[in-house]
Chains A and B, each alone.
Chain A
Amino acid sequence: MSTAPPTLVRIHHVTKTFQRGAEEIHVLTDLELEVREAEFLALMGPSGSGKSTLLNLIGGLDRPTAGTVQIGQDRVDQLSDRELAAWRARHIGFVFQFYNLLPALTAERNVELPLLLTHLNKAGRRQHVKAALEAVGLSNRSKHYPRTLSGGEQQRVGIARAIVTDPTVLLCDEPTGDLDRKSGDEVLALLQILNQQHGKTIIMVTHDPHASARASRTVYLDKGQLSDKPAE
Chain B
Amino acid sequence: MKFFPLVWAGLKRKKLRTVLTFLSIFVAFLLFAFLGAIKEALGGGVSMAGLDRLIVRHKVSLIQTLPESYKARIQGVAGVAAVSHQTWFGGIYQDPKNFFPNMPVEPELFLAMFPEFLVKDAEKQAWLNTRTGAIVGRTTADRFEWKIGDRIPLQAPIWGPPAGQTQWEFEIVGIYDGAKKGTDTSQFFFRYDYFEEARQREKGQVGWYTVRIANPDQAAAVAAKIDEEFANSPYETKTEPEGAFAQGFAQQIGDIASIVMAVVGAVFFTILLVAGNTMAQSVRERTEELGVLKALGFSNFLVLVLVLLESCSIAILGGCGGLGTAWLVISSGNPVPGLLPVFYLPADSLVAGVLLAVALGLVAGVLPAWQAMRLRIAEALRRGG
Contacts and interface: CB of A to CB of B under 8 A. Distances in A.
Tell me the interface secondary structure of chain A in the complex.
helix
B234 interface: no
Contacts of B299: 81-82, 85-86
A161 B289 CA distance: 14
Interface residues of B, number: 26
Contacts of A56: 377-378
Interface stretch (B2-10, B38-46, B219-227, B252-260): B2-10
B378 A61 contact: yes
B289 A61 contact: no
Nearest to B300: A81
A82 B300 CA distance: 7
Given A104-B10, A109-B5, A109-B9, A117 B297 contact: yes
B309 to A, nearest CB: 13
B287 to A, nearest CB: 12
Interface stretch (A34-42, A88-96, A218-226): A88-96
Contacts of A88: 295-297
B335 interface: no
Nearest to B289: A102
A103 B13 contact: yes
A89 B378 contact: no
Nearest to A102: B289
Nearest to B3: A116
A105 interface: yes
Contacts of B92: none
A123 B281 CA distance: 35
Given A98-B385, A104-B10, A105-B9, A61 B297 contact: no
Contacts of A61: 295, 377-378, 381
B294 interface: yes
Contacts of A102: 6, 9, 289, 292
Contacts of B292: 94, 96, 100, 102
Interface in A67-114: 81-82, 85-90, 92, 94, 96-98, 100, 102-105, 109, 113-114
B242 interface: no
Interface string B373-385: 0000110010011
A56 B378 CA distance: 7
25 contacts: A53-B378, A56-B377, A61-B377, A61-B378, A61-B381, A62-B378, A81-B300, A82-B300, A86-B297, A87-B297, A88-B296, A88-B297, A89-B296, A89-B297, A96-B385, A98-B384, A100-B289, A102-B6, A103-B13, A104-B12, A113-B296, A114-B296, A122-B2, A125-B2, A161-B296
Given A88-B295, A100-B289, 13 more contacts: A62-B378, A85-B297, A86-B297, A92-B297, A94-B295, A94-B296, A98-B384, A100-B384, A102-B289, A103-B13, A104-B12, A105-B9, A161-B296
